[in-house]
Amino acid sequence: MKDKLQDIIDYLLSVVEDPFPRYILKKEILKETPTTEDINAIHMSKWYKQLADEQWEDGTWGRFHSQDSKAAIKQKFVTTENALGRARQLSLTRVAPIQQVMTSTATRGQMALIMYRLLRK
């Protein structure tokens, strides 16, 4: 069984060109620490760029919750909740630059203010 699994892993690593499936395979399945090369590759991918390009200066992607998604600006991720869900699907952690901005915003207490403003409306 192990040989068959290793054959599948070797095959995927040899044919998959998109950096995110390779990154997820290494990180989540093989439990390897991503290399600098892996991280640089995902930062150049269209999936990462979608998240990074739409992230606001305050670290969010606009409104927080999906029940509050009537944003004035059209964007791929209509809420921060959606964007964080995508980041999780891509196996991004708090060390990814887009997550660091979000985390630092939240730890400075600004997320509480954002949540308060959203709940007031």
Quick: pLDDT tens for 11-68.
988 998 899 998 998 888 889 998 999 989 998 999 889 888 888 887 778 777 666 5
Q: Is residue 49 part of a domain?
A: no
Pair 82, 116 in one domain: yes
Query: In which domain, by residue range, is 118 found?
Result: 54-121
- What was the pLDDT predicted at 119? 47
116 half-sphere exposure, CB direction, 13 A CA radius: 6
Pair 60, 117 in one domain: yes
Q: Is residue 6 part of a domain?
A: yes
Pair 113, 61 in one domain: yes
Q: Is the pTM of this model over 0.75?
A: no
Residue 37: both structure tokens together: 């090369």
Pair 39, 64 in one domain: no
Pair 59, 108 in one domain: yes
Pair 40, 58 in one domain: no
108 half-sphere exposure, CB direction, 13 A CA radius: 10
Query: Structural domain tally of the chain?
Result: 2
* Farthest-apart Cα atoms in the chain, separation: 58
Weakest mean pLDDT among 8-12, 66-70, 87-91 = 66-70
- What was the pLDDT predicted at 75? 77
Q: Is residue 85 part of a domain?
A: yes
